[in-house]
Amino acid sequence: MDGQSSLGAFLHARRARLRPQDIGLDTYGERRRVQGLRREELALLAGVSASYYARLEQGHAHNASPEVLDALARALRLEEVERRHLHDLAGAAVRRRPARRPPVERIAPATRALLDSMPDVPAVVTGRRTDILAWNPLGHALFAGHLDPLAPDRPGDRPNNASLMFLDAHTRELYATWEDKARAVVAGLRSAAGRHPDDAALIALVGELSMRSPEFATVWADHRVRPCTIAEHRLRHPLVGALTVTQQALTISEDQILVVATAPAGSPSHTALRLLAQATRTGPTAVPVPMEQRSGGI
Q: What is the pLDDT of residues 86-100, one digit of tens each?
A: 888 887 766 656 667
**Element (DSSP H or E) covering residue 251:** strand 241-251
Kindly list the domain boundaries of the chain, sorted by start residue: 3-95, 109-293
On whether the CB atoms of residues 273 and 243 are closer than 8 A, the answer is yes
Question: For the domain with range 3-95, which CATH number is right: 1.10.260.40, 3.40.140.10, 1.10.3720.10, 3.40.50.450?
Answer: 1.10.260.40
Question: Using one digit for the tens of pLDDT, what is the confidence trace for 115-169?
Answer: 999 999 999 999 999 999 999 999 999 999 999 999 999 998 999 999 999 999 9
Using an 8 Å Cβ cutoff, are 293 and 169 in contact?
Answer: yes
pTM of the model: 0.78
Give the pairing of strands 123-126 and 132-135.
Answer: antiparallel
In the CATH scheme, what is the code of domain 109-293?
Answer: 3.30.450.180
**Range scoring the smallest mean pLDDT among 84-98, 107-121, 269-283:** 84-98
In this prediction, residue 31 carries a pLDDT of 64
Q: Which residues contact 277 (CB under 8 A, 6 or more apart)?
A: 119, 120, 138, 141
* Residue 247 DSSP class: E
